[in-house]
A and B are shown apart, each in its own frame.
Chain A
């Protein structure tokens, strides 16, 4: 199984801050990586696919990069509605299709 790790597990930030989350795969997954946002009590929402492609309708302050085993996700200027938990997910190999443990972004 491909293991996904994320760091940090949580962070506190202020509106307007630049926030970066990293995700690492246990083996090469090319660019087969999605990023999701989940707010409490809600279903996850796809933000980025293929490691760096913004899903339709997602604000441009969100971006992703990386390939192989190391990836990053950035919010260029944190907005109040961005406080949530973010998950990376690999789809290079299944079963299983694996998620990272999540990064909770909350208000400083």
Chain B
């Protein structure tokens, strides 16, 4: 079955770095855009970043732009989020999620939201 498993979360001091990983299985990973979505404790969902199926396009929300980098390795079915210069407000559960449409879909848009989510990995930024 389609599965996403995140790892790499933990407790980190402000200003430090952390890399999250997401292992994908059960679908043709190289055909789908992939997202990172985060949720601060007790708060709503916040989209963080997306990467196209081949890694050629990347987009970020303003609050992480310049500090976070999304990447993927299609040969390993892996998605990554490199997080630098971490701040307390980056503390959250981070979910990786698969885009609902593959790149062959001839629609008006490039991304269609998320249909499969991982279980999340928790990042706590604290001194």
Which A positions have Cβ atoms within 8 angstroms of B?
Answer: 32, 34, 36, 38, 42-46, 49, 55, 87, 89, 91-92, 94-102
A99, B114: Cα distance in complex, Å:
12
Q: Which residues of A contact B45 (CB under 8 A)?
A: 36, 38, 44, 87, 89, 99, 102
Q: Which of B47, B50, B119, B120 is the most central at the interface, judged by chain A CB atoms within 10 Å of its CB?
A: B47
The binding surface of chain A is classed by DSSP as loop
Asked if B29 is at the interface of the complex by the 8 Å CB criterion, the answer is no
Q: Which residues of B contact A95 (CB under 8 A)?
A: 47, 50, 59-62
The binding surface of chain B is classed by DSSP as strand
Closest CB pairs A-B (n = 6): A43-B117, A97-B47, A95-B59, A34-B113, A96-B61, A91-B113
Which B positions have Cβ atoms within 8 angstroms of A?
Answer: 35, 37, 44-47, 50, 59-62, 95, 100, 109, 111-120
Contact A97 B50 (CB under 8 A): yes
Considering only CB atoms, which chain A residue lies closest to B119 in the complex?
A: A43
Q: Which residues of A contact B62 (CB under 8 A)?
A: 95-96
